[in-house]
Amino acid sequence: MKAAVISTFGRPEVMRVMEVPEPHAGPGQVRVRVKTAGVQHFDCAIRSGWTPAYGLEVRLPQIPGNEFAGIVDEIGDGVSAFALGSEVLGFALLNCYAEYVVVGADQIVMKPATMSWEEAGGLTGNGQGAHIALNAIGVRSGDTVLINGAAGSLGSIAVQLAQIMGAKWVIGTASAYNHDFVRSLGAIPVTYEEGLVERLRKLAPEGIDCAFDTAGGEGLLAAAALVPDKKRICTYYAYDLIEELGLRVVRGERSSARLAELVELHTAGKLQLHIRQVFTLDQAGEAHSAIESRHGRGKIVLKID
């Protein structure tokens, strides 16, 4: 099968598409013929040589990618919830930038007919990540919530979920170019530039209750200055500042139950995934370059089949 492979750590161009052996489903597993795979900053970090603190083992040559959508084409012993031909979306830690991926049957859910392949391939990682973070910081009815990096694939989902969870006001940092997009999601946009703390105080004179950081920089520092309880601030970006600023450490498990909840919200029209750009598998390096350029709006996806 074809796969985008990292043979050495480095810049986006180190990824090459090559032929690798097809995987096969074992007991409790399914094999999925991948239609689309989402691209995340996590994938870029793996490509650059970063190793997560929880001990994920990356062995070169390595296929990156940890979210996908496709069609079940092989079923292992003990799996009864899915059939050959089932259209699904799901998650894995690695190996999704490929024509086939093997995962546990507890890592996928059915794809609704109303969800495009591009949305399905890109929902899992950022959707579950935002859901985990907002639950960790305890977003509740009446809160004023700050989302730093509100136009990106992670931040834009967080903006929507915060409102679903009952937030009274959601304020989202974004470049001026993305303000209309952030506003369309239901948030109040604010620029990153100098003077952010003062602008936020004017927008939220009663204070900011909690914050989710997806971009680091001034937005995170402003959150630390304005949110009284630092354990109601979570970052997925500036891990080196967590201890210094006293922020919440988030350790949440992705699950099919959590993913099913997100799919249900999408089906009900309450949660949308904006697709920024679609690349082919051969363009995986270009997709990484695009996501690392930052300030883009929405999700980047690879179309594999």
CATH of the domain at 43: 3.90.180.10
pLDDT in tens, 195-242: 999 999 999 999 999 999 999 999 999 999 999 999 999 998 888 888
- Output the pLDDT for position 239: 81
Across residues 160-165, what is the average pLDDT?
99
Least confident interval from 44-53, 58-67, 222-231: 44-53
Say if residue 47 is in the same domain as residue 98.
yes
- Output the pLDDT for position 193: 84
**Residue 69 clears pLDDT 70, i.e. is over it:** yes
Say if residue 216 is in the same domain as residue 279.
no
Structural domain ending residue among the three candidates 210, 226, 245: 245
Asked if 42 and 59 count as a contact pair (C-beta separation under 8 A), the reply is: no
- Output the pLDDT for position 147: 99
Please indicate, yes or no, if residue 205 is contained in any of the structural domains: yes
- Output the pLDDT for position 182: 98
**pLDDT-based confidence at residue 56 (cuts at 50, 70, 90):** confident
> Which DSSP string corresponds to 222-245?
HHHHH-S-GGGEEESS-GGGHHHH
- Output the pLDDT for position 298: 92
**pLDDT-based confidence at residue 94 (cuts at 50, 70, 90):** very high
Say if residue 106 is in the same domain as residue 45.
yes
**Residue 171 clears pLDDT 70, i.e. is over it:** yes
Please indicate, yes or no, if residue 147 is contained in any of the structural domains: yes
Number of domains making up the chain: 2
Q: Give the position of tokens 């946009």.
A: 189
Structural domain ending residue among the three candidates 220, 245, 270: 245
Say if residue 117 is in the same domain as residue 147.
no
CATH of the domain at 206: 3.40.50.720
Question: In sequence order, what are the residues at sequence separation of 6 or more whose Cβ sits closer than 8 angstroms to the Cβ of residue 268?
Answer: none
pTM of structure? 0.94
pLDDT in tens, 109-133: 999 999 999 999 999 999 999 999 9
173 or 192: which leads in pLDDT: 173
**Domain ranges, residue 264:** 2-126+254-303
**Residue 55 clears pLDDT 70, i.e. is over it:** no
Say if residue 69 is in the same domain as residue 35.
yes
Please indicate, yes or no, if residue 52 is contained in any of the structural domains: yes
Structural domain ending residue among the three candidates 245, 272, 287: 245
**pLDDT-based confidence at residue 301 (cuts at 50, 70, 90):** very high
List C-alpha distances in Å: 216 to 36, 150, 223: 29, 12, 10
Strands 2-6 and 15-19: antiparallel
Say if residue 143 is in the same domain as residue 195.
yes
**Residue 71 clears pLDDT 70, i.e. is over it:** yes
Say if residue 96 is in the same domain as residue 146.
no
Say if residue 262 is in the same domain as residue 160.
no
Across residues 79-96, what is the average pLDDT?
97
Please indicate, yes or no, if residue 133 is contained in any of the structural domains: no
Please indicate, yes or no, if residue 9 is contained in any of the structural domains: yes
**Residue 53 clears pLDDT 70, i.e. is over it:** no
Say if residue 10 is in the same domain as residue 109.
yes
Please indicate, yes or no, if residue 187 is contained in any of the structural domains: yes
Question: In sequence order, what are the residues at sequence separation of 6 or more whose Cβ sits closer than 8 angstroms to the Cβ of residue 130?
Answer: 154, 155, 157, 158, 161, 212
Mean pLDDT taken over the chain? 95
Q: 10 Å Cβ neighbour count for 27?
A: 10
Please indicate, yes or no, if residue 131 is contained in any of the structural domains: no
Please indicate, yes or no, if residue 132 is contained in any of the structural domains: no
Say if residue 59 is in the same domain as residue 119.
yes
Say if residue 121 is in the same domain as residue 11.
yes
The percent of residues above 70 in pLDDT, for the chain, comes to 99
**pLDDT-based confidence at residue 54 (cuts at 50, 70, 90):** low
- Output the pLDDT for position 222: 96
254 or 47: which leads in pLDDT: 47
Say if residue 7 is in the same domain as residue 119.
yes
pLDDT in tens, 6-29: 999 999 999 999 999 999 999 999
